[in-house]
Amino acid sequence: MSLKIAHSPCPNDTFIFHAWSHGLISGAPELDVTFADIHLTSKWVSESTYDLLKISSAALPIAQAAGYQLVPAGGAVGHNNGPLLLSRSAATTPADLIGASLAIPSLNSTAYRLARKWLAENLPEGFGKVTEVVFSDIMPAIVKGDFDAGLVIHEARFTYPRYGLHQIVDLGQWWEAKTGLPVPLGAIVARDDVVERYGIQTLAQWCADSVNYAWKHPEASRSYVAENADDMDEDVQRAHIDLYVNEFSADLGPEGRAAFDALLAN
């Protein structure tokens, strides 16, 4: 019996799940993969259609309310990998953002949750209009002047200088300095009936086995990663994987769980 999973086509996810989705993990059921960005998968939990989903960590309470559980492997948690707040001008300061228009990848994204926590301490006056924009369209929209600033995620961390944009704040660095914890960006969740059938630890082990296979055989997933990487060059693909795939991908562990608790605390 196959399991339906939805995750992004980004290099970290295709790298992590290549082995499992290609039948290389002994004892694991087949994966029926749907590619969708995290702003969609974070909404799809309410439909209960997928057995497994990669969602934004900030959407975990929504997933749990919809009958999903956190799988402690396969996600995106780490250091120096948080979202960036960008603008067109290198002279932009946080104070310049009072009442500004902001593009975000999703209201339920970790990026926006971190931004709201940062705002509470650094810009209590807040932004003006906040608009959800598909993450790949955020930087072009800032360049065109549609927004004063934008929150960017994924490979934009490496590519934003190409657009002539400038960093106002690295929300990951701010978070780590404040909490001493890694940034919990994305999570794998499994529907309750799937957990009952296989067990949460078994699901986590299959994720971990897939990660470990990818690390042991880095060439095996190269073409799969490239063909789904949205025109990234190979150097960006590799940097993306190196940044977002780490020890927390194989085992969330106590530190990773503490990061989730801190992110989701009011």
pLDDT value at 26 more than 70: yes
Residue-level pLDDT at 231? 61
As a whole number, mean pLDDT of residues 42-51 equals 93
Determine the Cα–Cα distance for residues 107 and 33; give it in Å rounded to an integer: 25
Q: How far apart are alpha carbons 18 and 31 in whole angstroms?
A: 10
The dihedral formed by the CA atoms of 246, 173, 6 and 231, expressed in degrees to the nearest 10: -90
Taking only the tens place, the pLDDT of each residue in 143-162 is 999 999 999 988 888 889 99
Residue 26, judged by CB atoms within 10 A of its CB (0-12, 13-18, 19+), counts as exposed
CA distance 116 to 5: 30
Within 8 A by CB and 6+ apart from 155, the residues are 10, 11, 230, 232, 236, 240
pLDDT of residue 230 exceeding 80: no
Count of other CB atoms within 10 angstroms of residue 257:
16
Residues 6 or more apart whose Cβ sits within 8 Å of residue 183? 77, 78, 79, 81, 82, 110, 114, 172, 175, 176, 259
* 259 vs 95, more confident: 259
CA distance 259 to 185: 10
Rounded mean pLDDT, 16-31: 98
- Bridge pairing between strands 52-56 and 3-7: parallel
- Percent of residues, the chain, with pLDDT higher than 70: 99
pLDDT in tens, 165-178: 999 999 999 999 99
> What mean pLDDT comes out for the span 206-216?
98
Write down the mean pLDDT value for the chain: 94
Convert the pLDDT of each residue in 65-117 to its tens digit: 999 999 999 999 999 889 999 999 999 998 899 999 999 999 999 999 999 99
Q: What distance in Å separates the CA atoms of residue 18 and residue 134, rounded to the nearest whole number?
A: 25
Q: Which two tokens stand for residue 63?
A: 């997933």
Cβ neighbors of 150 (< 8 A, separation 6 or more) are 85, 86, 87, 102, 103, 104, 133, 138, 139, 141, 142
Which residue shows structure tokens 């499994």? 190
pLDDT at res. 234: 87
Mean of pLDDT values over 5-31? 97
Structural domains present in the chain: 3-78+182-264 (3.40.190.10), 84-179 (3.40.190.10)
Rounded CA gap, 39 and 134, in Å? 8
**154, two tokens:** 């994924």
Angstrom distance (rounded) from CA 144 to CA 148? 10
As annotated, the active-site residues are: 154
Q: What is the pLDDT of residue 236?
A: 86
